[in-house]
Structure 1
Amino acid sequence: PEAKTSYLGVGTSYKDDFWQVVNFLFVHDKALTNSTFNRTVLANPFDSQELLNTQKEAQSTYNAAKQDDERAQADKSKAETSVKEATAHLTGVTAQRDAIKAIEVKTPAAQTQLDQAQATLKADEVENKAAQEAVAQLNADVKAKQAALAQAKAELTQQQTELDELKGSLSTEQNKLATKKADLAKAQALV
């Protein structure tokens, strides 16, 4: 069977500010031809679509911040490993240099070896300093991304709370509507 569109109209009137007359009108589409009956559909004040869209955006922001944080943590771990390796190498080269310095320079070959060890030591010190600066920068990036992640979590929690409140309000209004429909059906049965 073909779907039918039905309308529910409510009319009220007062007389002398003492009493009220309420008229309910329930009609199908066919009965409204050549009629001035207003068929405008009222907007639902409990529509949660906008809140759901905002929640999706907050979830997306949270996910992006979390991924950035995970990448920063991985970069930080790599940099810390590089620093440890450079420090270990620096310690070894420093020990070599100290051992060479302890030996009295007797031949030009020993002097050449000492010069090479000192040059290697200087290069390793520069590399170690650069690695430590990279770790410091990554630590700052991780802290900033963790703050962004915490902010995104807070917004997501707030949006979820608002959505839950709207769902509760919607449920209450739906129950009221069901009660009104039942009352209307009873009234129609009496007519």
Structure 2
Amino acid sequence: MKTLSASVLMPVGVIASAVLLTACGAMSRTQTFDPASVPQSIRVPAGNQVAWETTGRGQITYECRDKANAPGQMEWFFVGPQADLMDRTGKKVGTYYGPPATWEALDGSKVTATQLSVAPAGEGNLPYQLVKANPAMGSGALTGVTYIQRVALKGGVAPAMACTAGNKGQRQTVMYQADYIFWK
């Protein structure tokens, strides 16, 4: 019985690995947003089209503060986000930061927005969100954006650590990920 030498098998293994990696890379690039997959309350009005799909990965900062209109009570207060926006191929295309909540493309165009609605997105996750975009600043990818949806959420809720008078003023960051879908 003849056996194949290592010099023949090695190139075959390298080619098979390359094909597998290429297929995996193609899968992540073909992921697209399904507008019907979100709760009705955060769906975008008819007449708008998906213009840009991004994934935000970063952190949200919370601060332990006095609870508004509740003397003697404390709560974790949402201070703001800081995240990189990646396109479906994993390339950085912008940033998301605040306050105010601002989405900025690498081309310099940016938008702020007004929240219209939210819906639960599961235990430990920020809620789904629909915002109406203000007119874009600058010219570029975000020019003409009408709505932005926050979907596919992972994490981001206030810290589990107790917020008490003893740690008042302390800041904590939590990691999160969300898809931001831009509509025109």
Query: Which TM-score applies when normalising by structure 1?
Result: 0.22
Who wins on radius of gyration, i.e. which is larger? 1
Per residue, is there more helix in 1 or in 2? 1
Per residue, is there more strand in 1 or in 2? 2
Higher relative contact order (CA 8 A, sep 6+): 1
